[in-house]
Amino acid sequence: MNAMTGGAPAFQIALVGTYLPRQCGIATFTSDLLRAIAQEMPEGRCWAVAMNDVAGGLPYPPEVRFEINQRVLAEYRLAADYLNVKRVDAVCLQHEYGIFGGEHGHYVLDLLNALRMPLVTTLHTVLHRPDPGQQAVLRRIARISDRLVVMSRRSAEVLERVYDVPRRKIAFIPHGIPDVPFVDPNFYKDQYGVEGRKVILTFGLLSPGKGIEVMIEALPAVVRRHPDVVYLVLGATHPHVRREQGESYRLGLQRRARDLGVGDHVVFHNRFVDLEELCQVLGAADIYVTPYLNPEQSTSGTLAYALGCGKAVVSTPYGYAEEMLADGRGRLVPFRDPEALAAAILDLLDNERERHAMRKLAYTSCRGMVWREVARSYLELFAEVRAERERFPRPVFRARTAEEFPREAPQPRIDHILRLTDDVGILQHARYGIPDRRHGYCTDDNARALIAVLKAREMIADGAPLDDLAVRYLSFLQHAFHPETGRFRNFMGYDRSWAEEVGSEESHGRAVWGLGEAIALAPAEDFAAAARTLFEAALPALEGFTSPRAWAYALAGLESYLRLFPGASEVRRLREALALKLFELHRAASTPDWPWIEPLLAYANGRIPQALILCGRRLGHAEMLAAGLESLRWLFAVQTDPRGHLVPVGNNGWYPRGGERARFDQQPIEAAELIEAAREAWEATRAPEWLQAAQRCLEWFLGGNDLNVPLYDHRSGGCYDGLTPTGPNRNQGAESTLVCFLSLLNLNQLRGREIASEEEAARGETVHG
């Protein structure tokens, strides 16, 4: 580290976060902060690692040196390697829920854990009431970071109280603002066609949580007394909202304004503006309004900018606003209260002297927030943590034993699923990696495919047609259902003719599983409605089924449905009835040396204990839960080689009670169903054995098997159809490919839950130690 004479230290600093031209508030903050640091440290270097949410990235400026696809875990590790090789002096992470991949954004932990230099994390959201996963990820980030930067005093208090972060680790640095002169609003009004009018302004990316509708509801009362008022709404619709809902929110606001008779008093500028234009628009405003609906919002760049430009502000009392508008710097009104909002605005419009005094107070109180001062504070903090690391070095590498829960897993690929899918659905079989049309389609595979693509939406980069695929698979199930029999047909030829009028009970159970998951994971309301209609039509047939695997698959679908609709009494009764049937079958057939439901260990075995564990937990049935755990332990015991790797029972004879267990051919569905069951067992017990067991199953796909050969095709995401005595069955059909794909997704989800569990345990040790 070099030092500059009479100036800031000449660090090499890397900022990690979203970056312009990506349209989001964090991207604006990161870009502004980098520019300010670079100006205050001309002899140093400051550059960015940008988070991408679209395939192929964006046309970034030269200061962006590395890009991460937020859904690809491997790229976080590559970014850490890049930062370490570049010997960066400090990394500054911009943390916000939603810009990192994995459950609650846990992918970023892989990057942070591998860094060798000091880490300063800027927290853009500090939730007062986080769910366990959100709390766990932030607690882990806090432990890794040398400092956490907050932009409000209240956030510092929440970090200490809710997340157990030591006060010494927390630094307060305010949100930066542009350094602009204090000007009369009339100076800029002619540029926007509002000269001679009183301007109320809200700016920022539009989304339903912004509460713009509340301001529009307040506008008629304001206009009655001040007919020259215009409400200017500046900002494009948030890209994520636009992707899911189009411009429906903005169009709804425009309709509401017309219905209230104030359409001529509302102006929407539907675009993302640069800093220079933003300052000019702010300059033209007489009153700035933030009618936000979320009381937990711990910072607001738009509010900071408005105060920095000397605006009179009226806001709802979210956390950041309460702090920033205290002591007369603005007015607070209750959430969702258009009458109170109108009254506060009218009071300011009626009292020009008070409004001007508020503007001056806001402007003068924010001079320490200009970007120049903020950048200096960050540079001082970087120097401080760098000096601490020199005095108290941390290990730069921690060896992990093979017994620890490994976290390496391939990034799921959808290429082969796409190859197997045509306009009807997913084909059953393949010859090598080429779809084999001779065998047509089946309901079993389309139900699995439906679950797979919906679960993959958070792991596969934008650009993959996951929603289109989900519609295709749901359409297949819709066509497979026969309303007259109330049953699903299973096999369809390539000529689109059904091979039977009624499919197997197990195919019906898998269809119910797929539909239940589809309802819980639906990308749109219409999709969920279609899945729900079909799901409910398929339920009556389940009561007469005798297949335990059909019960077990259906129970997984019923549970997914009940997560969304816990009060659905008929579904709850059906769940209990099927679960008790399965439990009674287990109790009648099980013995201490053969804790199983039947005298033959055959296929999809893990699905049985998975259902018993799941329903035992949900129904509060301790014996059922214990039976599921006992069966699962036994399944792993008889399917694990003495050397420690998984050996799924072979389908060349299976494993009859008292007989010889078939070693081959080992089927991918066995490993996948054991992963599902191990995940459920871990949810029930939090015992590390189940994490290790699930990983052992995944390693079977990757080469941890009898022949030490991988079944997973890293190039396409396909999976070989089985393991034979002479090697893999090199055909890559739908069942094997889908269960392998689901196994990767399940391990990723399990990893996120594991982080929450570890933090829970660490917190317990801190409290009771």
pLDDT tens, residue by residue, 112-125: 999 999 999 999 99
Contact 499, 441 (CB under 8 A): no
pLDDT digits (tens, 9 = 90+) for 132-165: 889 999 999 999 999 999 999 999 999 999 999 9
What distance in Å separates the CA atoms of residue 315 and residue 335, rounded to the nearest whole number?
9
pLDDT at position 372: 97
Tell the burial category of 716 from Cβ atoms under 10 Å away from its Cβ (0-12, 13-18, 19+).
middle
Q: Give the pLDDT confidence of 6-42 residue by residue, as tens digits.
A: 455 678 999 999 999 998 889 999 999 999 999 999 9
Average pLDDT of the chain, as a whole number: 92
Residue scoring higher pLDDT (452 or 103): 452
User: What pLDDT does residue 745 have?
Assistant: 92
pLDDT above 50 for 401: no
Residue keyed to tokens 């309709």: 255
When pLDDT is averaged across residues 333-348 and rounded to a whole number, the result is: 97
pLDDT: is 757 or 127 the higher one?
A: 127
pLDDT band at 760 (very low <50, low <70, confident <90, very high): low
pLDDT score of 411 more than 80: yes
Q: What does the pLDDT read at residue 184?
A: 85
The pLDDT score that the predictor gives to residue 237 is 85
Whether the predicted pLDDT of 555 surpasses 90: yes
Beta bridge partners of 462: 464
DSSP 169: G
* Candidate from 293-307, 419-433, 653-667 with smallest mean pLDDT: 293-307
Report strand pairing: 491-492 vs 434-442. antiparallel
| Average pLDDT of the residues in 280-292 | 91
Asked if 752 and 758 touch (Cβ cutoff 8 Å), the reply is: no
Average pLDDT over residues 664-669: 96
Q: Are strands 170-172 and 147-150 parallel, antiparallel or unpaired?
A: parallel
Confidence band for 463, pLDDT divided at 50, 70 and 90: low
pLDDT band per the 50, 70, 90 thresholds, residue 190: confident
d(CA 304, CA 302): 5
Nearest one of 231, 272, 274, 276 to 254, comparing CA atoms: 231
Mean pLDDT of 608-633: 97
CA distances from 718 to 433, 597, 726 (A): 8, 32, 20
CA–CA dist 33, 35 (Å, integer): 5
So what's the pLDDT on residue 6? 44
Task: Supply the pLDDT for residue 763.
Answer: 62
pLDDT at 524 over 90: no
What's the whole-number mean pLDDT along residues 71-97?
94
As a whole number of Å, the CA-based R_g of the chain is 30
This prediction has a pTM of 0.82
Phi-psi region of 658 (alpha: psi -120 to 50; beta: other; left: phi over 0): left
Asked if omega into 665 is within 30° of 0 (cis), the reply is: yes
Q: Which residue has the higher pLDDT, 428 or 191?
A: 428
Residue 392 predicted with pLDDT over 90? no
**Chain mean position to CA 631:** 33
Q: Give the pLDDT score at 461.
A: 65
Query: Of all residues in the chain, what percent carry a pLDDT higher than 70?
Result: 95
For residues 297-321, average pLDDT:
93
pLDDT at 479 over 90: yes
pLDDT per residue as tens digits for the range 234-269:
888 877 778 778 888 889 999 999 999 999 999 998
E strands along 273-426, which residues? 287-290, 312-315, 331-332
- Mode of pairing for the β-strands spanning 600-601 and 655-656: antiparallel
What is the per-residue pLDDT for 170? 98
Q: CA 120, 102, 28 angle in degrees (round to 5)?
A: 50
Query: Residue 329 — pLDDT band, cuts 50, 70, 90?
Result: very high
User: At 504, is the pLDDT very low, low, confident or very high (cuts 50, 70, 90)?
Assistant: very high
DSSP helix/strand/coil, 257: helix
In this structure, what token pair is assigned to residue 636?
């792993």
Separation between Cα atoms, residue 766 and residue 769, nearest integer Å: 5
Please tell me the distance from the alpha carbon of residue 644 to that of residue 216, in angstroms, as a whole number.
Answer: 65
Given pLDDT bands bounded at 50, 70 and 90, which one contains residue 408? low
**Mean pLDDT, residues 381-398:** 85
Give me the residue label for tokens 């419009």: 349
What average pLDDT does the segment 635-657 reach?
96
